[in-house]
Amino acid sequence: MPSSPIRKLVPYAEKAKSEGKKIFHLNIGQPDIETPETMLNAIHTFSPKVVEYSHSAGIESYRRKLTSYYDRYKIALDYTDIMITTGGSEAIEIAMMACLDEGDEVIIPEPFYANYNGFGMQAGIVIKPVQSFIENGFALPPISEFEKVITPKTKAIMICNPNNPTGYLYTKDELESLRDLVAKYNLWFFSDEVYREFCYDDKEYFSVMHLKGIEQNVVMLDSISKRYSACGARIGALISRNKEVMDAALKFGQARLSPPTFGQVAAEAAIDTPDSYFTKVKAEYVARRDYVVEALNKIDGVFCPKPSGAFYCIARLPIDNADKFCQWLLEKFSFENETVMLAPATGFYSNTALGTDEVRIAYVLKIDDLKRSIRCIEEALKVYPGRKSIREAVRAQS
């Protein structure tokens, strides 16, 4: 398995840190938001005699309670439509293995979450990208572009909504156009919706589970990692109303015995997290996004669309090469002994020619740290040897 561009940066970050530089980590989706107390309280009072395997599909009381969580989003489920997984990662891995055979093709709009590559490789499936563009904020590519890459081996469409790495929130119209495509070719429709709590600007969250007529084709991948800022709990879910999918998924679930018990106990309690928690968290993310996007767009030659979901944005920078720039930031640059670690967007594109002047920024730090981070980027762009001239930058944007 090849190393991703972010992972290649890790030794440079470690070296910079050992030299005493402060690094602002805008490269990862590890939120700084506090985990709700209700989760830790549940763990603090959990005192079984034996910490047993749970059911391979997860603790039944948790699965039943989860249906009430989805009800709030008008997603009506039976608890048997839900299998608890070890993080969203395992939900993706099991969905691919349960639904697809080796050599099957999955179409995914790019840029996409880099780890889909790893899971695809493990499952022996082939990812066919369809390009989305920074100019329109990474909206869904036209359906005609999907149809161009459909072959007899195409078995699934996959999206992430709200999107990592772009922050784009797909509209109802876009989802419905994908539904028609899925129905026309009888494909699986995988949707990774782990950021549903983070939709902004009063825009509607429209789930793949809301689509009528393709219920048997739909598999939703979910996780509590971002929702409750509890990435370490490693609790996700694979959700489908297709019984055959759930049966096949369970067999893979049985092979690994069970998802983590402690995490499930915390996750079950988390469902009682008060709305006020999310109101506060959303307000915080909106303020951060507004700051980051505005500040970035003020920098000469930088373009950053304003996304309506998740906590990421992708910015185009006036640089020769995003991998080199991100490494240079850690290795050669500092401003007041501080620098930033960014994710080169190259890691999110299958097509190696794309994303070379784009970076993903996770706004997972407090506003003050974000201010210092953006100032670092601004100062860095003034002195980066591979900086493009304004003319080159304008040309790249046209």
Contact footprint for a copy of itself (CB under 8 A): 1, 3-4, 7, 30-35, 39-40, 43-54, 86-87, 89-90, 93, 97, 102, 115, 118-119, 122, 124, 225, 229-234, 248, 251-252, 254-263, 266
230 versus 310: smaller Cβ distance to a copy of itself: 230
What are the Cα distances from residue 382, in Å, to 323, 333, 370?
18, 11, 19
Beta-carbon contacts of residue 53 (< 8 Å; ≥ 6 apart): 257, 258, 261
What are the Cα distances from residue 270, in Å, to 38, 55, 253, 265, 307?
6, 20, 23, 9, 27
Selection from 39, 41, 93, 44 nearest residue 62 by Cα: 39
51 versus 394: smaller Cβ distance to a copy of itself: 51
Q: How far is the CB of 381 from a copy of itself (least distance, A)?
A: 29
Q: How far is the CB of 28 from a copy of itself (least distance, A)?
A: 8
**Cis preceding linkage at 152, omega within 30:** no
Q: How far is the CB of 249 from a copy of itself (least distance, A)?
A: 10
273 versus 308: smaller Cβ distance to a copy of itself: 273
49 versus 391: smaller Cβ distance to a copy of itself: 49
92 versus 187: smaller Cβ distance to a copy of itself: 92
Q: How far is the CB of 2 from a copy of itself (least distance, A)?
A: 8
Q: How far is the CB of 297 from a copy of itself (least distance, A)?
A: 30
Q: How far is the CB of 106 from a copy of itself (least distance, A)?
A: 16
Q: How far is the CB of 57 from a copy of itself (least distance, A)?
A: 12
**What string of DSSP letters covers 27-55?**
SS----SPPPHHHHHHHHT---SS-----
23 versus 231: smaller Cβ distance to a copy of itself: 231
3 versus 151: smaller Cβ distance to a copy of itself: 3
In single-letter form, the type of residue at position 12 comes to Y
Contacts 24+ apart (CB under 8 A), 304-308: 304/361, 305/134, 305/135, 305/136, 305/137, 305/138, 306/137, 307/137, 307/138, 307/162, 307/163, 307/166, 307/167, 307/168, 307/169, 308/162, 308/167, 308/168, 308/169, 308/199, 308/200, 308/201, 308/203
User: E strands within the chain?
Assistant: 22-25, 82-85, 105-110, 126-131, 154-160, 188-192, 218-223, 236-239, 312-316, 338-341, 343-344, 358-362
Q: How far is the CB of 346 from a copy of itself (least distance, A)?
A: 17
Q: Which residue is it, tokens 């928690």?
A: 277
Exposure of 341 in the CB half-sphere (CA atoms within 13 A): 23
29 versus 318: smaller Cβ distance to a copy of itself: 29
39 versus 130: smaller Cβ distance to a copy of itself: 39
Token pair, residue 126, equals: 């082939």
Q: How far is the CB of 103 from a copy of itself (least distance, A)?
A: 12
